[in-house]
Structure 1
Amino acid sequence: MGKKKGLNATRDYYAMLSRYLLPQKKPLIGLALLLFTTIGLQLVNPQIIRYFIDTAQSDKALEPLYYAAAVFIGFSLIQQLVSVIATYAGENLAWRTTNRLRGDLAEHCLKLDMSFHKSNTSGSIIERVDGDVNALANFFSSFIIHLAGNLLLMLGIIILLFRENVLVGAGMLLFVAFAVYVIQWIRKFAVPVWAKWRQVNAEFYGFIGEHLEGTEDTRANGATGFVMNRFYSLLRRMLPLRRKAFLGFSSMWITTIVVFALGNAMAFAISAYLWKAGSISIGTVYLIFYYTELLAKPIEKIRTQIEDLQKADASLLRIRELLATRPRIEDGPGAELPAGPLSVELDNVTFGYDDDPTLKEIDLRLEPGKVLGLLGRTGSGKTTLARLLLRFYDPQQGSIKLGGTDIRSCTLPQLRSKVALVTQNIEILQGSVRDNLTFYDERISDEAIALVLRELGLGGWYASLPEGLDTPLASGGGSLSAGEAQLLAFARVFLTDPGVVILDEASSRLDPLTEYRLEQAVGKLLTNRSCIIIAHRLATVQRADQIVIMEEGRIVEAGSRTKLASDPDSRFSRMLAAGLEEVTA
């Protein structure tokens, strides 16, 4: 089991390297050359110091010492310069690769269906896309190159020590083997704990994100105490995991210090023995100590690389799980939907988010260009029906057709270009007015946008914008009134020119002028389009050609608006007679 898990991890790392790092061959080769240059300079400099010490003891001329000092200083400066350039190149490479991975993860999340986004909080997804990718930054920037470079540095030191004396080389070889074994042995205890920590951390950020967004509701309902209780409960879960992870890393750090101390003691003992025997000079004693200290550097680097690999193990697992998540809603073969207003047909449709059906055996037909008023209490299934038309979900039973074509045979982009949904909660993105209206579709001209805004009665608002369509809007639409946000949502629909519009009418009360502007805009919106209105007011229902009343996931009444209104026994007629202002109360 352990071998299989390790094999899978190795395969995952190789897949990541192949996809994101190896295509950047030039930066990789440049970084490798810089690191190998640094290694060469690190191996040469102590040889110069050894020469300096032995020459100084021999009472020879001072001129060679001046040359040796100048060469040493020059090489040291070059080494520092190369190290700085290598660090910059490594960070640049890391940001390129991780940003590409972030982009792929974000795009993948956007392609996943609503069931995924309902079961994962926005904070948890952000932690996956950003936090877990950050943990892979070192792996992408230089892990393989640094690991190879440090191993090469250790190998070079061992070879040079063997060249000085076989006993010294053998002793240091044993020291390196022992150090690597001990560090690798300790590593296996920290990886599972780190994985659990990353999971709880994602839950924590998801919780924070949710409740920051809902601060107003939390305060209004007096739920601050409950939120804080959950907050501290998550912290209590995080603390022991964080403590264990920290202890795991601390044990590696302490073990490394002990191992280095043993290495220095071994170097001291061997050097003292060989110098007393007259086999080596004082300069060589210094060389052995310097190389022993230098050995600590690649071992320490490997230790920190392994720590990063521990974090990367957990993060890579979570990233792999996310990328392995497949959308339940797949593109159809690509059947074309006709232009113009589309008919809407639901045949024996049953759907439930879980085992309990939300919609039950729904049969419905709307002719092209007609308006359907959809009424019902909260929870009756009105919004669910709208989501099915956009294929946010697929029904467990039955079929849905637009213009006589089963929507499951269309590609998702094509379907959603023909069906537009205007919800009660208008999402305003942080960006320009243009970006909020076109959703970054550069094919839509500024002239077309201005024409639509004037047609919807927003000409004065548009003229007042200080930077025109480049005027920035705050996230959430804080700079817009409720009516302006609703009219901007209508403008989005006009610009895409769909064949079917689903309007979830805003239930909030607006001032008379805004009400009038919205009524005018709705009239224009319904022209030459099929429309389903999830209605909240009787005034809006009067526009409908057909009426459907839903209750507990079933259609309990359907028919022509005029016929139902004239039938005193119909539910719709009783609503009109009662003069209900809000029809979904």
Structure 2
Amino acid sequence: MTDRNAEVRSDAGAQAPSRHGSGSDAGADQSKRTSFKAMMSYAQPHKWAFAGIFFCSLLGISADLLQPYLVKIAIDDHLAIGQTSVGFLVQLAAIFLGLAVISFIFTYVQNNLLQHVGQNIVSRIRKDLFKHISKMSMSFFDRFHIGSLVTNVSSDTETISSFFTQVLLSLIRDGMMLVLIIVFMFQLDPVLAGYSLIVLPVIAIVAVLFRSRLRRAYQNARTRLSRLIAFTAENLSGMFLIQAFHQEEEQKKRFKEQNTLHLKANIAQARSNVIFNRTFDILGNAALVMMVWLGGRAVLGESLQVGVLYAFISYIRQFFQPINQITMQWNTFQSTTVSMDRIWNILSTRPEVADPKPGNASTLEPRNVMGQIDFNDVSFGYRADRPLIQHMNLHLYPGEMVGIVGTTGAGKSTLISLLNRFYDVNQGSIEIDGIDIRHFPQANLHRIVGLIQQEPFLFSGSIIDNVRMFREDITREQAIQACRFVGAHAMISRLPQGYDTRLSERGSGLSAGERQLISFARIVVFQPRVLILDEATANLDSHTEQLVQQALESVSQGRTTIVIAHRLSTVMHADRILVMENGEIVEEGSHQKLIAAEGVYADLYTHAREAGNDSAISG
């Protein structure tokens, strides 16, 4: 299964860039518009909060922009004609103070409102994204690296958070400030205001010219970050293998290569951003020099009042401040569009394995399931051009224990994946008690079919929570009774806090056998009628295997049980043993019958005895 997953991921990874690279620019732009619109729909429930943000921004900005105009009135209407009384200065100071207080209050309210709305929107996006990923089919995880998905849930959502709390604030506040400044400038002097607007087309041209360059830079930086995270996650998960084969130096070298590529991408991104922003600084300073020169000549020619020139210069300086702020947010906006596109790519992916429509759905209470399993003319391949199982017919009877053996790639785990409906068959049907499993809601199917894997997964949390999978409707007494039933109680009781002992990630601190016993206890708690063991004793020593075998005998009573065997001793006492090769069942029967047949199974058994162990069958 691991090699096959890597192959599928490799193929998918090779094809992934075509979504933006080889497709038309129009298609890529349409995709970005669609993803942006989808993300913006999360803002719809907060429309009244945005209205409040707009209102607060309007009042706060107006209070700021009235201050230069107030100085203009003071200079031209009072100081220029000799009105310099103390009362007037006190009045002027009081008005200034009032405007400053108004600006502070409404800016404070605006920022808090925006932070509250933005964080709620991103929290909902993150929740929906995690929920959607958890519902995806196994084929989805074959195509998407875990590191990339972690980046989507953490880093990409944080980028979207920056959009709502920074970019959106800039668009509202700075956009409104720009409009009001233009209004004030035309109110002061239409001719100078007209000259100042000459720079706007130049700004638009620069923005258009830099747009594609910035987008490519941020796209490349995000891609490199995703690959770096994926590489790191993969190495941390396989650290025992790296150390066992002394691959530390090789992996450090590969990490350095990935890290260097990420560094170069970030430097290129920063370089593009600096050039873009400094270009606007130059434009702003050039416009200010031009206004001072034109305004100064007008004052000397007595066609313009000094107060008007002062206010106009103040507005010109403020005129480029919101433009600069908006352009400085351009990098965040570019990064946001990339993150939105990546998240929408996940959210718009539909599960290949879906629940049936309500009208076609069938449900069975686990206690009413007999356990008859039928594979009817089943064909399947992970890729359409590479069929793995073809026209298989297999029938398992209620309460029967069936062992499945075969070499790596024979199709054993694939058979189990199909029964769990991690994938849908390409042809034929799989039935439980005569009902096609595609008619079961997946939640109902997974209550009927229980799976214990070679590497049982334990979550961070207490042992009791891992047994009952954090479900509060399962009592502590039920979980403890399940552990007693499979023989795990004595082991758990020896731990420092017993059932309340906290486990770290994947249950480190417990042996493989102890983790496996806890997984058996889960099965007892949830009571599925069909039990599957996928190489469940492959990594256990003989003593621990004996404990697990005893647990298996207890758990399998009254259940249809399928055991994929790594060791022959695991299946020797099964009611029936199936031998698979190249996706086909080539032999079946009891242990004694297969030995007598002197076929594939007998060869495997002989080889195991000659090797001095019973672990010759891998897979």
Normalised TM-score (structure 2)? 0.87
Which whole-Å CA distance do the structure 2 matches of 1:184 and 1:77 have between them? 39
Q: Which amino acid aligns with 2:236?
A: L
Question: Which 5+ residue runs of structure 1 have no aligned equivalent?
Answer: none
Equivalence map 1:315-354=2 (5 Å): 315-332=339-356, 333-337=360-364, 339-354=368-383
Which whole-Å CA distance do the structure 2 matches of 1:84 and 1:524 have between them? 65
Structure 2 counterpart SS, 1:476: helix
Task: Report if the CA contact (8 A) 1:340-1:528 is conserved.
Answer: no
| Residues 461 and 40 of structure 1: CA distance in aligned 2, closer, same or farther (over 3 Å) | farther
Q: Which amino acid aligns with 2:362?
A: A
Structure 1 counterpart SS, 2:410: coil
| Residues 244 and 515 of structure 1: CA distance in aligned 2, closer, same or farther (over 3 Å) | closer
Equivalence map 1:68-217=2 (5 Å): 68-141=92-165, 143-144=167-168, 146-217=170-241
Which whole-Å CA distance do the structure 2 matches of 1:224 and 1:479 have between them? 23
| Residues 276 and 7 of structure 1: CA distance in aligned 2, closer, same or farther (over 3 Å) | farther
Deviation, structure 1 residue 76:
2.2
Aligned to 1:252: 276
Is it true that 1:390 corresponds to 2:420 in the alignment? yes
Per mean C-alpha deviation after superposition, the further-off stretch among 340-349 and 120-129 is 340-349
Aligned to 1:31: 53
Which whole-Å CA distance do the structure 2 matches of 1:306 and 1:573 have between them? 70
Structure 2 counterpart SS, 1:188: helix
Q: Which amino acid aligns with 1:234?
A: Q
Structure 2 counterpart SS, 1:503: strand
Is it true that 1:487 corresponds to 2:517 in the alignment? yes
What does the per-residue CA deviation read over 1:514-572, in whole Å, with 9 as the maximum and x for residues that have no partner?
A: 4443232111110111000112334332441111112232222102445445x363555
Which whole-Å CA distance do the structure 2 matches of 1:308 and 1:124 have between them? 20
Aligned to 2:388: 358
Task: Report if the CA contact (8 A) 1:260-1:296 is conserved.
Answer: yes
| Residues 548 and 305 of structure 1: CA distance in aligned 2, closer, same or farther (over 3 Å) | same
Aligned to 2:6: none
Q: Which amino acid aligns with 1:507?
A: A
Equivalence map 1:38-77=2 (5 Å): 38-54=60-76, 55-56=78-79, 58-77=82-101
Structure 2 counterpart SS, 1:557: strand
| Residues 431 and 288 of structure 1: CA distance in aligned 2, closer, same or farther (over 3 Å) | same
Aligned to 1:17: 40
Is it true that 1:381 corresponds to 2:420 in the alignment? no
Which whole-Å CA distance do the structure 2 matches of 1:474 and 1:239 have between them? 33
Structure 2 counterpart SS, 1:425: coil
| Residues 302 and 508 of structure 1: CA distance in aligned 2, closer, same or farther (over 3 Å) | same
Which whole-Å CA distance do the structure 2 matches of 1:489 and 1:349 have between them? 30
Structure 2 counterpart SS, 1:160: helix
Deviation, structure 1 residue 488:
1.0
What does the per-residue CA deviation read over 1:91-115, in whole Å, with 9 as the maximum and x for residues that have no partner?
A: 3322211121122222222222222
Per mean C-alpha deviation after superposition, the further-off stretch among 135-144 and 549-558 is 135-144
Aligned to 1:545: 575
Which whole-Å CA distance do the structure 1 matches of 2:54 and 2:495 have between them? 53
Per mean C-alpha deviation after superposition, the further-off stretch among 24-33 and 372-381 is 24-33
Deviation, structure 1 residue 467:
5.7
Task: Report if the CA contact (8 A) 2:482-2:522 is conserved.
Answer: no
Task: Report if the CA contact (8 A) 1:201-1:238 is conserved.
Answer: yes
Which whole-Å CA distance do the structure 2 matches of 1:480 and 1:240 have between them? 42
Per mean C-alpha deviation after superposition, the further-off stretch among 228-237 and 277-286 is 228-237
Aligned to 1:418: 448
Aligned to 1:476: 506
Which whole-Å CA distance do the structure 2 matches of 1:373 and 1:2 have between them? 55
Which whole-Å CA distance do the structure 1 matches of 2:257 and 2:60 have between them? 49
Deviation, structure 1 residue 306:
2.5
Which whole-Å CA distance do the structure 2 matches of 1:138 and 1:509 have between them? 49
| Residues 469 and 74 of structure 1: CA distance in aligned 2, closer, same or farther (over 3 Å) | farther
Which whole-Å CA distance do the structure 2 matches of 1:328 and 1:377 have between them? 29
Is it true that 1:509 corresponds to 2:540 in the alignment? yes
Which whole-Å CA distance do the structure 2 matches of 1:10 and 1:575 have between them? 59
Count of equivalent residues = 582
Question: Which 5+ residue runs of structure 2 have no aligned equivalent?
Answer: 1-23
Is it true that 1:584 corresponds to 2:617 in the alignment? yes
Per mean C-alpha deviation after superposition, the further-off stretch among 419-428 and 155-164 is 155-164
Aligned to 1:558: 588
* Structure 2 residue corresponding to 1:431, chosen from 449, 457, 461: 461
Aligned to 2:20: none
Deviation, structure 1 residue 464:
5.4
What does the per-residue CA deviation read over 1:163-220, in whole Å, with 9 as the maximum and x for residues that have no partner?
A: 1112122122333443344334422321133223322321222112111221221222
Q: Which amino acid aligns with 2:420?
A: L
Task: Report if the CA contact (8 A) 2:604-2:617 is conserved.
Answer: no
Task: Report if the CA contact (8 A) 2:373-2:431 is conserved.
Answer: yes
Task: Report if the CA contact (8 A) 1:538-1:581 is conserved.
Answer: yes
Which whole-Å CA distance do the structure 2 matches of 1:152 and 1:474 have between them? 51
Q: Which amino acid aligns with 1:205?
A: I
What does the per-residue CA deviation read over 1:57-112, in whole Å, with 9 as the maximum and x for residues that have no partner?
A: 52421121122123323432442344344333323322211121122222222222
Is it true that 1:307 corresponds to 2:307 in the alignment? no
Structure 1 counterpart SS, 2:454: coil
Deviation, structure 1 residue 126:
1.1
Which whole-Å CA distance do the structure 1 matches of 2:496 and 2:304 have between them? 82
Which whole-Å CA distance do the structure 2 matches of 1:223 and 1:263 have between them? 60
| Residues 203 and 271 of structure 1: CA distance in aligned 2, closer, same or farther (over 3 Å) | same
Deviation, structure 1 residue 498:
0.8
Task: Report if the CA contact (8 A) 1:168-1:267 is conserved.
Answer: yes
